[in-house]
Amino acid sequence: MNTYTKIATSILFLLVFTGARTIAQEPKCNLTLAQAPELRGFKLGMSPEDVIAKMPGLNIRPANRRKYRVVAINFTPNDLSMRNGVINLDRTSYVSATRFPIYEGLTSAGIHFLDEKAFLIELFYDDSTKWNDVDEFADKVASSLHLPKAWIGDDDKSERFIKCNGFLIETELKSSTSPVLRIGDPSMLLEIQGRKEDRNEKQRNTFKP
């Protein structure tokens, strides 16, 4: 599965999960959106230009008619010196973790924008650090980001979530995959869902047999 497909799949999962379950629960964390932690230099609310400034030469495709766009990044140990550490191919960009060491330990990342603001950030890690289970990984994330260890999630599932006043955090660790960390703005996730429903309603209203 390529990076773009992984990102598209995960955003659909988050929309379903947060809409149906997590958003309805009372926050376990009082942090606001403005207090959301930064992940490897990426922060909710940042613009596409902010991301490009961190990786000069990065190409972010234009927004669609719903003002949504995403950048999919694969990190490589190769120097990519001929391209200043960045190569853009179709829907995916390749960035040198050697030239940009802040991204060491990551295999890929996805940053989703709505109305030119990042509302979902995803980090896919390599398997260099071994975790016994998702709870161990989640607790380490919480400690490192100074979050309460108020994770929710079924014991037999591979995901854990924290709902704060202004954002959601998800950790994922499956036996067949490396760790994943996501942070999202639930208000923007619901906005996307609302725009999709409005579009579907418009199509139904204008349908002609």
Q: Is the pLDDT of residue 21 over 70?
A: no
Looking up tokens 């955003």 gives 11
Tell how strand 92-96 and strand 159-163 pair up: unpaired
Looking up tokens 């490396």 gives 178
Burial of 207 (0-12, 13-18, 19+ CB in 10 A): exposed
> Per mean pLDDT, which range of 42-56, 97-111, 116-130, 157-171 is the poorest?
157-171
- Whether pTM > 0.95 for this model: the answer is no
- CA 73 from centroid of its chain's CA atoms: 11
Q: How confident is the model at residue 56 (pLDDT cuts 50, 70, 90)?
A: very high
- The pLDDT of residue 20 is 47
Q: Is the pLDDT of residue 142 over 60?
A: yes
Looking up tokens 């030469």 gives 57
Torsion (CA) 74, 119, 178, 131 in degrees, nearest 10: 140
Smallest Cα–Cα separation from 10: which of 195, 181, 185? 181
Q: Is the pLDDT of residue 144 over 90?
A: yes
- The pLDDT of residue 81 is 75
| Phi/psi of residue 66, nearest 5 degrees | -95, 10
Helices (H), 134-177: 134-144
Looking up tokens 């108020």 gives 150
Which sequence spans correspond to the domains of the chain? 3-205
Pairwise CA distance, residues 131 & 128, whole Å: 10
| Phi/psi of residue 12, nearest 5 degrees | -65, -40
Residue 120 makes CB contacts below 8 A (sequence gap 6+) with 11, 14, 110, 111, 112, 182, 183, 184, 185, 188, 189
Q: How confident is the model at residue 78 (pLDDT cuts 50, 70, 90)?
A: confident
Token pair listed for 123: 């980090």
- In angstroms, the Cα distances linking 29 to 53, 104, 162, 182 are 31, 29, 7, 16
